[in-house]
Structure 1
């Protein structure tokens, strides 16, 4: 409220009896009170008029007054109440500021002091760089004093000297002093007094002062982290903002939800280990449904003591989002913001030239066949030594010529004996990917109040073009939020909120064999000889042609949430709250296949002008998925202050019912290829449907106690029930507690202030039940099918064997212990927090013991297993404003987590499943070097064999044609047995394998620097991972993975007798294996995925209010924002983004998926 006053109010030192303001004079109030306080009268005026009072600390608001006013103006009431008290007021808009200053005015000073008559001027700013209006400025020990004006300026005149000291004070701010010296201009920047304005943090079903928190809770600066950035969803904006919160995406595809984890990458064998995402205390299935501009606060609850109050889905933490709400008494305002951005891929593979790729394939092929005369790949592209020379000739003659797409027989390709030989080079990614794609974001909000009702309306639109150049993809999102809050009387208030989101993702149909094998996979699959042109005006068979001719697929999602609730103020300190929320989600998917044709050469017999797509693509599919979610939250809230004792309690219930249902209709054989409708098909019809139901209930209690602002205690208990367990195991009780000691408030610590401003030691311990393990694990399900072996070849309806179940199936219990310390230094400017934690899943659900094959069914699940996650977090923050107005804010964190399987149901001792195994372990060999000619000798048959003393690697020479030779990888013999083997692949006998890395991210960090000065602001945000290993798979990272397909420019550095210092070994055919020959998992080619990314740089300028006021604009800011600016990593020339994770496709998909993007954007923010 103080910062708002600084922007909106101007204080003129005029008596109350002469205050002016045409609008306020027309406001009438009726007040009749006896022996009440000034504060009570001011509150009643606020309630009746919507005006807000800003009261200086020198005004006695506890003074007792009598007031009788019937339909009188506000000015008359104020004049009567403050007559003879020396209280002054000023009016600006809907705000009134009060100050008592009998001998001060805004431009002059009175009194005298020994010294020389002189004048000092200056400006007073708050920690955000806004002018402080109405700040008290005086000479210490003297009578000179003034109040700052509209711009925070002051002028002091009087008899004072160089040793005189100026003191500046303002309610809610730290008082500051400065010796005048020989200066004529003295500026001040005041910081918030944390003892007066403690930060309030949103926690489970309520708020707490940050100083009183005893659990592990982190908050996000929403304004800095989410606003004015070209992000498509909230989750991407939160990445790197909070210690212990891991967020990543498998690809850069639009409309996909990033994966979120809190404190570790794994927590259970089954179900989701993602955090519970709550928006206004109700679960939200996707952050795509929330407009970042609608968010008021974000808290991350990380330990059991903080999260347990939310029950069974909060076992792995909670992301608690609070949206902006209507506030009574708020002046009507309009806010508009926009963002226009252009994005481009961060990194994409580059395919080698046609002849280079053919030569590399030839060299690899010679390893298997020294008499090689020709090669043909799976799409029937052929080449030999003669055609390779033709490729080189084409490149010399036409490589720099801008040819049309039309191909010429004899120049660009030949057909010889039914085989296709192509010489022309095409850059398919250049044809397919835009250099820049456009994205825009618009947000409009209106808020205000009328009488006892406050309201807010928010509208948002995001439109993002994809980066596909031909038949481009498009993502659109629409947001509507409307909320009201009405005070019926002093005992009751009601509230409501509507949230509606619709997003659509429009893409070309995918003609791949599955959703994993999309256009990106095929775009980078084939060499540049693939013909992407036309012949006789007819296109060739390739992925670009398919996308150009494809019909459009559309995925749309409608998310509607309606909430109604109320609060009853029963007695002072005791409230009852109840809220009901209904959420309906409907998803519609239109899959529009069809047929694509042209020159088809994939059959190996020349080329034919024909339809080449499979009949399975000649279809129209319509799918509908619906879900209904009912949530009732009801609770009593009690707070009481008794001297040095502070008590708080919450007791309530939470009931949730979830139902999902849907159906899919499909029909084959489209009648009109360009009119994909089910009614315009004539072939086979298919249909399917599903329905699920889930219910949860919980009763919770939280008790808070604080003594003397030093000793803190919180106790939580929750009784939870879930339909995911058998009747006798459906309920579980899960307690937790936390305690804290604010050590800095002890008398023996006072001597360390202000150097050590705050010191708190805290700890927590508790448990939460995890029910996110699947809904039917305790039920013996029968699967319907058709069977032909009973009666001839006719399919008969039948059911498979029921799934095996086990008695006693029950909750997973997640227990967390946390020890933390919070410190603040130098008048609260510097803050430091540290947490150490251990999270244990002590009843982890896993498959049971291996059963005999004669049993005929897989082993049942049971509660047998233990997983421990241990880690630590450290966070640092610093903020200060210098007297010249420069403000600086720094926030940084570093966190680490490791998870261990301490107990398994089947401890086979295998490297992938032994007790004590760390999650993410990568086992492999230690690379020694490349073999050289000196390692070999010739046997009597003329074959190269290893010399005596060189460990044999014949264990991996299994395909009959690959034999290790010069230029191949030599592995280290770690166990000294003279041969390289994996032993029996157990922890007891790993052979020459060892742990070479771990795929889990370690030492995740984020840092943010914010500077502002005279309206100019600069924000720099850095995010990264200190350690993560990755064994790369597929063609992009393993040369020769499919040696007859594409090779990439970064793979040109391979071993030859003339290039012995190469990075890659001699070329060979790995047979589409990620663990073979020269590419067994090993230290040399293990990818170091650590990185430091400049995530965002934003520069903005806020125009001075004195410029914008004439246009009725309260705030106007222009900004430039860069997203994913650049990164430092250890990948060298390997063209994958360091955030790449295992994709949904097979191993060959890595690096050949929808790319991540960099964004350049600008926009404005304006408030009327």
Structure 2
């Protein structure tokens, strides 16, 4: 009986609900309205939906909307990316005025992707992003790439030099090529090409890095090395706003190696003369007791190492921007001036950046704008690398010899042979250059229909570079070339035009379907011209490179390179029920860089994502806010190979009578193809506790094939090598980003972020070569061998086993003597002969993983940040140490010689002053390069607004920052970071310009 009553009750309730529903739906009306932001600007494309129904639409270019058949007591929900959603009761209203408020947290979730923007929640690819303003606040610098180090997963940024004006080395997910460029493509406000130095750092709003192929495939033949998208700040309407930021940076050398004083070196030199030359029957005494006494008293001698560095160098940086405008037109004008004196004497750079941006709304459906930016940069400094670099020379030159004699002439002599005086590298340099560039960009943006828009961008770059060098009678170049003076001037002019036509369709249907589609037609033209002039035996050093024609022998040449690229691209992103995402793209590129038949290539990608948080099994699990799985695959290319590599080249030649002739200078290969990279990516995004704890994890497998390589050609051709598609390179790794807000409160907050990246790069194939390895030319490259099946940057040499002792000579090879270096006999030669067969991999210069840790704390009006980076799992070949242990015509003032082999000190690892030390490239000079560096500690204070209000100042902040204060490493050299500069020769210390310790004080304010 009870069961029947229950059934009847349920049926009655159902019938009653239906009746009420029909009654309610019978009372419908047409509702109109307008959606605006807090400034009264229309919100175009906002989603307007009646809750619980399929009724919905989006706002037009005026922010207006119309809803038909809306029930009288219905609720309307309005949402748009970057704004808080709002629900409004209809309650008989016929017109709804709805104002949306910006959601700062949601705005951070909108990211720039190639040729458009997208909600981060809709992303299916691997994209890392960072707000430039926050990075500069935590680490104020004049080059934004420095501040981005360690903040982006999968992106390796290395400060390769402390020299003013130098660029950081940036790589995304490893190295993909042997011969072509390995750096990422940089896109500034949609304009392809450029670098961080061409922009004022304070002008940059955000930086996005596209890492996997599903994200980079829209850039086709230029996407293999990753893509960095830089978005600059937009002008804001309203009254004119002026902002200023400036700092003064006092720099000091971080740490310097120990060298012997003049007195210490004099005694060591006499030991050297007695032991080394005495063994040859010509014992020498270089310094008398009287001279040594003068050295000890400081009356004579010179500290070259400390004198090539400044005690304190000054950098000052100033940014100013002016922004404002009316309802229809807004403008922004900014400028930057940076003067940077390096920690090395006579090194300096001066840079000026400028930018003007204007946006205007011509009609309701038509917008246009112009963006002009540029820079002028001058650099000046001594040679600071390779064997003749000033640091190596200063470390190895006798501290007993002063720079000049009593007549003012350089002392170009060491203990026993000629050697150029290191201070000549500082005092006699006349080497510098300048570069300037102007970037012009204009656009029109037309709204064709609801959600459908067309945008055309037209841009051009005009760049000029000039490098000059005058080598006078006292210069190093004249010294090594039999007193031949010279002057050189090289200028380069570059013109680059690009036209992009973008058709976009963005639409949302009933909150269950969302589409973002893009079509592209793009054209690019590049014209590069180089002029070179050299004069030998110049008439006047003062004129020098200003007129190279005033010389006895004048040579010169010019060259011109032209390339074009035509591209088509289509991309679609579809989201179903806010939980299933799909992205597909296709691009076709045609390039003039390759021969007919290979100039066109297609690049496609696809990716899917699943937001499991939207499923019922996770939707109501409160601690979990985000749980999204991503998977993608795609192919990209690398066309950054030298122009005309597919074609034979001609050049001139002259005989002994200066008669002109012509010859083929290199073979062409019309079968050359673009390098192609295919990549799989698996990602997981998680958020917990109201997203106060977040995780982003990506695994990738990236295979580059048809990699270009110079291979040997038959002798009959008359050429040594030609370029072929001959290799494969595999990069695979993992990236993890962990973010947390442990404390969030009105007076105190703490945000922390840890970024970890691990990449392994191996050579999978090497074709068309005689062996399973190849070597490359260059000072650093001489220490490496690129071997099939091994990681790149594999060091090759002998295995050091110490020093031969007197009691071991019965087992020593013929060339050995007591006190000479001892190496492992790998091939077990019966006579102990050490040769190439005893070589092997002795180290690797590529870090296995790197990380960055950022901490930002605020307490009331104070802010504090700490930034730390680390690189691990790599070796450094310390060429500097090797050079300073050389024994021959002279020796260096090296304290390590105190522990050299002598008959009384046989238990040592340092060879003695013997006739043939037999020093080789070996594990003796391979050291662990792992380091942890505190990059910056910054403390700031912002004055309360109630104090500033009476002065009509919007904000005022003062800060102090300490950069590179601490370095934790077991490496014995100056700075392990600067050794990570070359893709195939990473991890060699050749006496590079080290980074210094910086002490900054700055202010920023606006009114």
User: Which residue of the other structure, out of 518, 543, 552, is the alignment partner of 1:683?
Assistant: 552
User: Equivalent residues in 2 for 1:519-538 (5 A)?
Assistant: 519-535=390-406
The aligned residue for residue 637 of structure 2 is: 769
Equivalent in the alignment of 1:720: 589
Counterpart of 1:304 in structure 2 is 213
Per-residue deviation, 1:1001: 1.4
1:187 equivalent in structure 2 = none
What is the deviation of 1:1068? Answer: 4.9
Aligned runs of 1:775-854 on 2, under 5 Å?
A: 775-787=643-655, 793-801=656-664, 803-848=666-711, 850-854=712-716
Partner Cα distance (1:482, 1:896) in 2: 40
Q: How far apart in 1 are the matches of 2:852 and 2:916?
A: 40
Distance 1:1135 1:535 in 2: 34
Whole-Å separation in 2 of the counterparts to 1:823 and 1:364: 66
1:261, distance to aligned residue in structure 2 (A): 1.1
Mark the runs of 5 or more structure 2 residues left unpaired by the alignment: 1-29, 44-54, 56-85, 89-99, 413-419, 775-784
SS of aligned partner of 2:259: coil
- 8 Å contact from structure 1 (residues 923, 994) kept in 2: yes
Q: Conserved in 1, the CA contact under 8 Å of 2:526 and 2:562?
A: yes
CA deviation vs aligned residue, 1:110-153 (integer Å, no higher than 9, x gap): xxxxxxxxxxxxxxxxxxxxxxxxxxxxxxxxxxxxxxxxxxxx
Q: Structure 1 residues 463 and 1065, CA, compared in 2 at 3 Å: closer, same or farther?
A: same
1:222 matched to 2:132? The reply is yes
Tell me if the contact between 1:1021 and 1:1095 (Cα under 8 Å) persists in the aligned partners: yes
Is residue 876 of structure 1 aligned with residue 756 of structure 2? no
**More displaced stretch, 545-554 vs 917-926:** 545-554
User: Equivalent residues in 2 for 1:596-635 (5 A)?
Assistant: 596=474, 618-635=485-502
The residue that corresponds to 1:333 in the other structure is 241
Asked whether the 8 Å contact 1:348–1:1155 carries over to 2, the reply is: no
Cα 1:549/1:1021, change in 2 over 3 Å: closer
Asked whether the 8 Å contact 1:1120–1:1162 carries over to 2, the reply is yes
**2:603 matched residue in structure 1:** 734
Deviation of the 1:769 alpha carbon: 2.0
For the 8 Å contact 1:865–1:902, the answer to whether it is kept is yes
Change (3 A) 1:814 1:200: same
Find 2:228's aligned residue among 319, 335, 338. 319
**Counterparts of 2:269 and 2:908, CA distance in 1:** 18
- Tell me which of 490, 493, 498 is aligned to 2:367: 493
Q: Among residues 174, 196, 207, which one is paired with 2:117 in the alignment?
A: 207
TM-fit CA distance, 1:523: 3.0
The 5-angstrom pairing of residues 566-645 of structure 1 reads 566-596=444-474, 618-643=485-510, 644-645=512-513
Q: Structure 1 residues 1041, 636: closer, same or farther in 2, change over 3 A?
A: farther
State the TM-score, normalizing by the size of structure 2: 0.83
Q: C-alpha displacement at 1:872, in angstroms?
A: 1.1
Deviation, 1:893, is 1.2
Residues 998-1007 or 345-354, more deviating: 345-354
Could you tell me which residue of structure 1 aligns to residue 890 of structure 2? 1044
TM score, norm. by length of structure 1: 0.72
Tell me if structure 2 keeps the 8 A contact 1:361–1:1043.
Answer: no
- State whether residues 683 and 696 of structure 2, in contact with CA within 8 Å, keep that contact through their aligned partners in structure 1: yes
1 CA distance for matches of 2:263 and 2:230? Answer: 56
Q: Quick one: structure 1 residues 43 and 910, their matched pair in 2 at CA, closer, same or farther if it must change by over 3 Å?
A: closer
Deviation of residue 490 (structure 1)?
Answer: 0.9
- Determine which of 790, 793, 800 is the counterpart of 1:917: 790
Distance 1:200 1:826 in 2: 21
Structure 1 residues 825, 809: closer, same or farther in 2, change over 3 A?
A: same
2:64 aligns with none
Distance 1:538 1:1078 in 2: 35
* 1:744 aligns to 2:613 (yes or no): yes
The answer to whether the 8 A contact 1:227-1:293 is kept is no
**1:1081-1100 to 2 correspondences below 5 Å:** 1081-1082=922-923, 1084-1100=924-940
Q: CA deviation at 1:1107?
A: 1.1
Matching residue of 2:873? 1027
Within 1, Cα distance between the matches of 2:87 and 2:515? 34
Kindly state the Cα deviation for residue 1046 of structure 1 after the two structures are TM-superposed.
2.0
- The structural deviation recorded for 1:325 is 1.5
Contact 1:364 1:1069 in 2 (8 A): no
Question: Where does structure 1 lack aligned partners over 5 or more consecutive residues?
Answer: 1-33, 49-61, 63-97, 101-169, 174-191, 376-383, 404-423, 603-610, 788-792, 937-943, 947-951, 986-990, 1072-1076
Looking at structure 1, the residues matched to 232 and 213 of structure 2 have their Cα atoms a distance apart, in angstroms, of: 24
Equivalence map 1:124-163=2 (5 Å): none
Q: Shift of residue 854 of structure 1?
A: 3.0
* 1:559 aligned residue (404, 416, 437): 437
CA distance in 2, matches of 1:618, 1:930: 45
Tell me how far 1:853 sits from its aligned partner.
2.2
Distance 1:451 1:750, change over 3 A: closer
CA RMSD, 1 decimal: 3.5
> Aligned partners of 2:583, 2:285: CA distance in 1, in Å?
79
Give the distance between the partners of 1:883 and 1:663, measured in 2 at CA.
62
Alpha-carbon deviation of 1:1150?
A: 4.1
Partner of 2:417: none
Deviation at 1:927, TM superposition (A): 4.8
Contact in 2 for aligned 1:359/1:388 (Cα 8 Å)? no
Q: Distance in 2 between matches of 1:386 and 1:856?
A: 52
Query: Partners of 2:39 and 2:686 in 1: how far apart?
Result: 40
Q: Is the alpha carbon distance of 1:1110 and 1:628 closer, same or farther for their aligned partners in structure 2, counting shifts above 3 Å?
A: same
CA gap of 1:929–1:802, structure 2 versus 1, over 3 A, is closer
Whole-angstrom distance in 2 between the partners of 1:1147 and 1:1041: 27
Give 1:881 shift: 3.7
Q: 1:261–1:771: structure 2 CA closer, same or farther, 3 Å change rule?
A: same
Against the structure 1 CA distance between its residues 276 and 352, is the aligned structure 2 distance closer, same or farther, given a 3 Å change threshold? same
CA contact (8 A) 1:486 1:494 kept: yes
Moved more, 899-908 or 705-714: 899-908
Q: In the alignment, what sits opposite 1:998?
A: 844
In the alignment, the residues of structure 2 paired with residue 357 and residue 853 of structure 1 have an alpha-carbon distance, to the nearest angstrom, of 53
Q: Deviations over 1:679-721 (max 9, x none)?
A: 8935333322111111111111110011111111100110011
**Counterpart of 2:170?**
260
Larger Rg: 1
Rounded Cα–Cα distance in structure 2 between residues aligned with 1:669 and 1:1111: 64
- Alpha-carbon displacement from aligned partner over 1:509-546 (angstroms, at most 9, x marks no partner): x7x9x997354443334111222254156664564663
